[in-house]
Amino acid sequence: MNTTAKKILILSANPTDTSTLRLDEEKREIQTALKRANNRSLYEIVTSSAIRVDDLRRALLDYKPSIVHFCGHGEGTEGLALENDLGQTQLVSTQALASLFKLFQEDVECVFLNACYSETQAVAIHQHIDCVIGMLTAIGDRAAIKFAVGFYDALGAGESYDACFELGCASIDLEGIAQSDTPVIKIRRRSYHTKLLTDAAKAVPANSLTKNDDMRSDRSRGQNRSISVGGSVTGSAIITGDRNTTSVQYSQVSSATSDVDIRGELKVINQILAKLSSSDSRKIDNAFADAEEELDKPEPDKAEVGKALERAIDYASKALGFASVIENLKPHLTKTVAWLGSDWHKLLRFVS
């Protein structure tokens, strides 16, 4: 066993009361993709089948994976389908999954949800994990497997996660399957990208690193990776850029309020909070990255920016010494609230 290799934890669940999926084939194809890769020494695959809730928690604790890959059924806002002790469906809620991955955000770089309608879970988990992949709608077995193979082929070649995502989508297109717009990615470009490419550069020639680092219904073949347990399945898509890639570019845009440079104010607020010695510093960074990501959209949702900022300041306010930065924070937070609107005056409680 290579103790320095990044662990890829592949979890699968196909409860007896759901349609049969080709999960063993998916796992085998992923293993084959990485086994033939130039960078195979950088990764170690661990698999676990018939996953129950306890198994999920224990696997994260035992293996401390860098990548968590789930293949199975999804039920949109109802959650993901794991198994109970009888092998039947036990749905795990979106909030529960997000709360779980919050506890492992120092280890997990990427969560790959290869299940129908899992975009809802991807958005929630992305609050804590830098890269999360999910599915906008239903996706068939064949498309899901081809997407996974393309992703891991690229990973084994030393590509960044967003490039792996694009190669996965291209793999669906190459098979003539009209589902390449189903996968979505939520990503922040931060330290793990640099480490990923640095590690890869040690194993392969530099000219192989060509990319910039800055869910399942194939009706013709295979099973649909969704289940129906009543209620409606809905999800709000967050889509910008090429395909369904949502990314942080940090490019300058004009704000809706001409006298407030919202990006500038958020940058200053972030710099002020960064001076604090907070145990939640990564969560604070994630929150500001979410705000920047929203601002990158053609029509940013001010409510989403406000929520991200509120989350960041709430974490920071628990740090020792927060009182000492209030005076510096106040004018910038006041201008930011002016841009956000009257509904966000509540943020001023942090500096009053």
pLDDT in tens, the chain (352 residues): 555 789 999 999 999 999 999 999 999 999 999 999 888 889 999 999 999 999 999 999 999 999 999 999 999 999 999 999 999 999 999 999 999 999 999 899 999 999 999 999 999 999 999 999 999 999 999 999 999 999 999 999 999 999 999 999 999 999 999 999 999 999 986 544 444 544 544 444 444 433 333 334 333 345 666 655 544 333 333 334 456 554 433 333 333 455 899 999 999 999 999 988 888 888 898 889 989 989 999 889 999 999 999 999 999 999 888 989 999 999 999 999 999 998 899 999 998 8
CA-CA-CA-CA torsion sign (101, 102, 106, 112): positive
Cα Rg, the chain, nearest whole Å: 21
Q: Could you say which of 1.10.10.10, 3.40.640.10, 3.40.190.10, 3.40.50.1460 is the CATH number of the domain covering 6-246? A: 3.40.50.1460
Report pLDDT for 214: 37
* Residue 259 pLDDT: 83
Say if CB 8 and CB 45 are below 8 A apart.
yes
**Its pTM surpasses 0.85:** no
What is residue 4's predicted lDDT score, i.e. its pLDDT? Answer: 76
Q: What is the pLDDT of residue 201?
A: 47
Nearest 5°: the CA angle 154, 156, 160 is: 55
Tell me the residue type at 292: E
- Output the pLDDT for position 38: 86
Amino acid at 51: I
Inter-residue long-range contacts of 217-222, CB under 8 Å, 24+ positions, other chains counted: 217/116, 217/137, 217/138, 217/139, 217/140, 217/179, 218/139, 218/140, 218/141, 218/142, 218/143, 218/177, 218/179, 219/140, 220/140, 220/142, 221/140, 221/141, 221/142, 222/21, 222/22, 222/140, 222/141, 222/142
Tokens representing residue 328 in the block? 């510096």
